[in-house]
Amino acid sequence: MQIFDKSGMHIHYSDEGDPQGAPLVFSNSLGTDMRLWNQIMPLLPEGLRIIRYDMRGHGLSDCPEAPYSMGELISDAEALIDHLEITSCLFVGLSIGGMVGQGLASKRLDLIRAMVLSNTAAKIATKDIWQDRIASIRKDGIGPVADATMQRWFSPEIYGTQAMTPWANMLQATREEGYIGCAHAISGTDFLTPTSALRLPVMGIAGDHDRSTPPDLVRETLELIPGSSFHIIHGAGHLPCVEQPVQFAQLLNDFLRATGHI
Contact 117, 96 (CB under 8 A): no
The domain total for the chain is 1
Rounded-to-integer distance, Cα 107 and Cα 101, Å: 10
Task: Return the pLDDT at 261.
Answer: 85
Q: Mean pLDDT, to the nearest integer, of 129-136? A: 96
Task: Return the pLDDT at 188.
Answer: 94
Rounded-to-integer distance, Cα 227 and Cα 94, Å: 20
pLDDT above 90: percentage of residues in the chain: 97
Long-range contacts for 144-151 (Cβ within 8 Å, ≥24 apart)? 146/171, 146/172, 149/31, 151/211
pLDDT class of 262 with cuts at 50, 70, 90: confident
* Mean pLDDT, the chain, integer: 97
Chain center to CA of 195: 16
Q: Which domain does 136 fall in, by range? A: 2-258
Task: Return the pLDDT at 202.
Answer: 98
Task: Return the pLDDT at 93.
Answer: 98
Task: Return the pLDDT at 200.
Answer: 98
**Model confidence at 97: pLDDT above 90:** yes
In the 3-class helix/strand/coil scheme, how is the chain assigned residue by residue?
CEEEEECCEEEEEEEEECCCCCEEEEECCCCCCHHHHHHHHHHCCCCCEEEEECCCCCCCCCCCCCCCCHHHHHHHHHHHHHHCCCCCEEEEEECHHHHHHHHHHHHCCCCEEEEEEECCCCCCCCHHHHHHHHHHHHHHCCHHHHHHHHHHHCCCCCCCCHHHHHHHHHHHHCCHHHHHHHHHHHHCCCCHHHHHCCCCCEEEEEECCCCCCCHHHHHHHHCCCCCCEEEEECCCCCCHHHHCHHHHHHHHHHHHHHCCCC
Task: Return the pLDDT at 1.
Answer: 80
**pLDDT tens column, 21-76:** 999 999 999 999 999 999 999 999 999 999 999 999 999 999 999 999 999 999 99
**pLDDT tens column, 170-210:** 999 999 999 999 999 999 999 999 999 999 999 999 999 99
Question: Is the pTM here over 0.95, yes or no?
Answer: yes
**Model confidence at 20: pLDDT above 90:** yes
Instruction: For residue 119, give the CATH number of its domain.
Output: 3.40.50.1820
**Model confidence at 117: pLDDT above 90:** yes
